[in-house]
Amino acid sequence: MLWHKTIGSGPDLVLLHGWGFSADIFESLVERYKAEYRITVVDLPGHGRSEDVTGGIGEWCNAIIPLLPKNATLLGSSLGGLLAIKIASMHSIKNLILVGASPSLTNHKHWQYGMDVEIFKRFAEDLQNNYAKTLKRFISLQTKNKNLMRSLFETIEKYPPSSNALAQGLSMLLETDFQQLFKSLNMPKYAILGELDKLVPRKTATWYETNGAQTTLLRTGHLPFLEEEFSLPDNV
C-alpha cells in the first residue's frame, strides 16, 4: 500500500516527490495552494509511510495510478518527474509539470543535457552510506529558510526510506531515458528548473523549450518549490 493524503478544494493536483524524501517535503506548497486546488500527495514506494513495491519504474507507476483522481494535473519533482512522464504515457492526465526534473538525469551518447555519471554516483554513494547526513547537507544548500530546513530535517529522521527503495530509485535515475516518451505526450507540458541546480543543469531548459514544454528558469537549486518565487503555471 502507498500512503497518500488529499487536502483542499478545486481542480485536482497530484504531487510526486523525489528520491529519498517523503510527501512531507511538499508541506509548504500544499499550504500555499490548498485554497485553489484539491491536492493529493503520495509517498513513493518504500519512502515515507509507504511499503516497498517490487520491480522497477513501471511497477512503481502501476502502484501510483490507482490513487490519481480523474483529469488531474500531475507534478513531479526529480525522480517524481520521471515517474510523472511514465504515468502520463499510461494514464489520462490534464497537465504535466516537471520541477527540477529531466527525462534523463545523467549524460550518455544520446543525451548531453544531464550531469556526469561519476559525479552522480558519488552523490548516490554518500546518500546510501549516510542517508540522513547527506540529505540534510543537500537540503541546506537548497533553501535559506531556517524553519523550513528544520521541518524537512525532522521529516528525514522520522521517515527514512527503505534501503531497497533507495537502490531501486538509484537504478531508475541512472538508467532511465524518457526523451522519446516525453516528446510523444500530447497534454500541456511545463518544466520549472533552477538555474543553480547541480543535478539538472540549466541547459536542460533548452531541450524542454524545443520539445514542447513551457519552461521557466528560477534562481534556485534542485528544489524550486521550496522557494517563494516558485509558482504553479497560471493556466493549469
Catalytic site positions: 78, 197, 222
State the DSSP code for 208.
Answer: H
Say how many CA atoms lie within 13 Å of 18 toward its Cβ: 19
β-bridge mates for residue 211, sequence order: none
The full DSSP string for 16-38 is E--TT--GGGGHHHHHHHTTT-E
- For β-strands 95-99 and 189-194, DSSP reports them as parallel
β-bridge mates for residue 189, sequence order: 96, 213
Distances in Å between the Cα of 128 and the Cα atoms of 70, 131, 150, 164, 199 are 36, 5, 22, 10, 17
Sign of CA dihedral 32, 33, 39, 44: negative
The full DSSP string for 107-123 is -BTTB-SSB-HHHHHHH
